[in-house]
Chain A
């Protein structure tokens, strides 16, 4: 069965990718996973300058999920292009560069640095980051700011631009429409949901950063709902993310309207998750009589 998909002018061998921040740069898993089974790797969020990240503890396990406050630790986009990207060229997966900044100019600078990086097929804008110029409110919660950022990055970049939506908003559809009009080539949804956990004996937050992003199976129903709403409202491809751990989960997202999916937290507890999901989708498509992934996208009987 052919699982190939073509999105924003790029051909992917399959629609099952790894989500940013959950699969490093791909090579971390090389001893445990057949990396060539993966359609694309969205690398850890890159910024213009290297970033140390937050003070530990950075993670906390919750029922069917986890909180993380990594603080976007990364070696910087230049180091990525010069030192890491060349190591990825021997694998078949496509590389998507997840980027972020604390000002529009920082995003632009990262996007421009990536223009010369041949091995990068697209960039994914993480708009869940605090906008320093707007008092730290995330770019992704304000349709005007989100659109302004998308437009600026589109102008600066030669690559297709995927905008990764934050679920921590009142109306995700409004943001989705705004970034679509600003020129986004695709959307991905969702990023983590802001959460908190407390140690009741120490009477302190479990995470040093106080709040962290909730991910894993616990968030899947929210993600499916948001992907459904967004894909109904826009005409660009939507990439589904959020708690996907099995092929059945992935199929839910396709039926909800996702053109591809990203697997995040599941990589941690099952490094073979992507491979298993790819195989499962293949059998499902055979069983249900789908001849291409495209036919399954949004094929919900209501």
Chain B
């Protein structure tokens, strides 16, 4: 599917927000918090890089769907070249979603992992649920999503490794205060490992949003599998949201 780029804006040194216009009502309605999209990173038809990149659906406002991404490699670098008004090839919505049946949530975001939990935090808060967000980064400059979080008044605790904003330390330092809620975490693997271990030790229900290399994003190639206690599962279909007790990280 091709969508029009509304904006592709730099948020900080390496982070961008990409927004596209989705005019198909039925598609918009299908989007649930925690899902992702496969994004064609080349503005021009090119076979190099070949594959689309998975990005979590960061936000949906009316008919605008946005993604937050950090420039890591060639794919994300190319993505920064998209200009307003250009067409971009995107498959969405993909994957399962964050379970909605609970009343109290703690969302845990490490870096651009905010892209995987922000929509849930916002939507669940608007639905009247009790929501808190822990947002961790290296330093103040990298806190790219801060403005969005403030705009939607999501209850927040920020952690920076250097203490330049919020509390000094790691998001995982803040977890023990919130054992009365369901945890949902998205971020780098070491963080997810720590969250998983702590949730198991404290007996807290916990979900992890995982990110693996993907080729198809729809369950066809079996390239994205995650090791679980029930064998390999496709991150793009049975995931990206997994019960923390199920995955073997």
Q: How far is the CA of A270 from the CA of B91 in the complex (A)?
A: 10
Q: Which residues of B contact A271 (CB under 8 A)?
A: 91, 218
Q: Name the contact of B213 in the complex, choosing from A22, A57, A270 (C-beta under 8 A).
A: A57
Q: How far is the CA of A268 from the CA of B221 in the complex (A)?
A: 8
Which of B48, B214, B215 has the largest count of A CB atoms less than 10 A from its CB? B215
Question: Do A66 and B220 touch (CB < 8 A)?
Answer: no
For the residues of B in contact with A, the DSSP-based class is loop
Binary CB contact string for chain B from 213 to 235 against chain A (1 if under 8 A, 0 otherwise): 11110111111111100011000
CB distance from B95 to the nearest CB of A (A): 12
Q: Name the contact of A267 in the complex, choosing from B48, B220, B222 (C-beta under 8 A).
A: B220
- Is the CB of B84 closer than 8 A to any CB of chain A? no
Interface residues of A in 112-138 (CB under 8 A from B): none
Which of B213, B223, B237 has the largest count of A CB atoms less than 10 A from its CB? B223
**Which range holds the interface residue count of chain A?**
20 to 34
* Total count of chain B residues near the partner, CB < 8 A: 28
Question: Do B223 and A59 touch (CB < 8 A)?
Answer: yes
* CB nearest to B235 among chain A residues: A56
* CB nearest to A57 among chain B residues: B213
Q: How far is the CA of A31 from the CA of B220 in the complex (A)?
A: 13
For the residues of A in contact with B, the DSSP-based class is loop
Q: Name the contact of B220 in the complex, choosing from A23, A52, A61, A245 (C-beta under 8 A).
A: A23
Q: Which residues of A contact B146 (CB under 8 A)?
A: none
Question: Do B47 and A64 touch (CB < 8 A)?
Answer: yes
- Is the CB of B1 closer than 8 A to any CB of chain A? yes
Q: Which residues of A contact B132 (CB under 8 A)?
A: none
Chain A residues engaging chain B, CB cutoff 8 angstroms: 21-24, 28-29, 31-32, 44, 52-53, 55-61, 63-66, 68, 70, 73, 216-217, 245, 265, 267-271
Q: Which 10 A-B pairs have the closest CB atoms?
A: A24-B220, A59-B223, A64-B47, A28-B220, A28-B219, A217-B47, A268-B215, A268-B216, A70-B222, A64-B48
